[in-house]
Amino acid sequence: MYDIAIIGAGVNGCSVAFEFTQVGKKVIIFDMEKIANGGSGAAGAFISPKFSKTGELQELLHEAFVYSMNYYEKNFPLLIKKAPLLHIAKDDNDAESLKLYKQQSQLELLDVRDELLNNLSEESQKKENVSINAGIVNAELMCQAMSKSAKFVKSEVQNLVYDDGLWIIDEIYGAKEVVLATGAYEQLVKEPYIKIRGVWGHRIDVQTSTKNTHSIHQFVSISPNSNGELAIGATHNVHYHPQTSKEDYDMEVGRKELLEKASKTLKLDNVKITKDYTGLRSGSVDYMPLVGSLVMSQETLQNKKINFQVKKEKYREYAYYPNLYMINGSSGYGFVLAPYLANILKEHILKGSEINHRITPARFFARWARRL
């Protein structure tokens, strides 16, 4: 019997595994394929804030960025590479946002040196930019390291039954608590108010004679060189989905697109692609992540005492699945958000700390119930 079972061994599931094994809990983690099989295995895994005007997502990502940089440096110093990050505006709107960001940023802003600017395309040299100290983690090794003290089971979980205070998983494993960290894959517990969007991404490792010292984000993300190679990645294809598309993803078209977009930013010489990574990242409809307990929609709707047409919802009145939680919807910021969100979830499960409703799944139930 386990204290906690985690379904999905992406960065979200593995971060939760780390939190609980660190405090001595017995943790089991399932993945249908392997650790970092989904979006997490494809990620460039840049640790970066959101360079935009203020807003709740920008604030959350700022907090998560500061938290996660410290977390990775403290717990996994060998798996994080610190490198300055240069974010270049894609268009005029982006340039306006960057100007505002720079006026109000709480992070130290770095000067952009001429050597770096000279490496950029003429067009990108003229664009507004911002540079800060940031990091990149090794996506797959990081997920493996975070989950190493948990028991890993390669299996696609299909069945969850709650019986006498215990979750029974596929009729074999028992756990007191279950965390669903299944990314953009089919949801195990189907609730109509949960809508997760999958966006397909592609990353390539390339050999190049171009020297690059920075992480550069503009149309795609470009990493600094390491041993003559750099990574170019983006989540860019909203039409392709591995579980529903009729045709296979065209790797050659994806490679071409990534190289073309990267070349709009940086002059890349003598390029040879050495490896491809692909995967789905998952996002919510309001772009904020989802962390916390799941509302049982039918049971909650049947409670005649609840008025769903109120502006200030009483989330405590809702009926929740017992000891069942989700962590998902991290969009293009899974490696920034996961450690921060996993800590919030741990505090909630072990100490009953309340989770801010700007990130709980219950906010979507409230909106859905109001519309009914």
Ligand X SMILES: Cc1cc2nc3c(=O)[nH]c(=O)nc-3n(C[C@H](O)[C@H](O)[C@H](O)COP(=O)(O)OP(=O)(O)OC[C@H]3O[C@@H](n4cnc5c(N)ncnc54)[C@H](O)[C@@H]3O)c2cc1C
* Interface of this chain with ligand X, residues 15 to 44, rule: CB under 6 A: 30-33, 37-40, 42-44
Judged by CB, which is closer to ligand X: 11, or 145? 11
Judged by CB, which is closer to ligand X: 31, or 313? 31
**Least distance in Å: CB of 126 to ligand X?**
25
**Least distance in Å: CB of 347 to ligand X?**
19
10 Å CB burial of residue 110 (0-12, 13-18, 19+) is middle
Count of all residues that appear for the chain in the document:
372
Judged by CB, which is closer to ligand X: 59, or 299? 59
| 153 Ramachandran zone, left/alpha/beta (phi>0; psi -120 to 50) | beta
Neighbours of 76 (CB within 10 A): 17
- DSSP codes, 10-66: SHHHHHHHHHHHHTT--EEEEESS-TT-SHHHH---EE----SSSSHHHHHHHHHHH
Asked if 11 interacts with ligand X (CB under 6 A), we say yes
Whether 334 and 4 have beta carbons less than 8 Å apart is answered as: no
Asked if 201 interacts with ligand X (CB under 6 A), we say yes
Residue 69 sits at the vertex; the CA angle it makes with 63 and 70, to the nearest 5 degrees, is: 95
Binding residue (CB under 6 A) for ligand X from 320, 333, 340, 365: 333
**Least distance in Å: CB of 16 to ligand X?**
9
Judged by CB, which is closer to ligand X: 157, or 369? 157
Binding residue (CB under 6 A) for ligand X from 21, 119, 265, 330: 330
**Least distance in Å: CB of 318 to ligand X?**
24
Contact set with ligand X (CB under 6 A) = 7-13, 30-33, 37-40, 42-46, 156-157, 181-183, 185, 188, 201-203, 221, 233, 235, 279-282, 328, 330-336
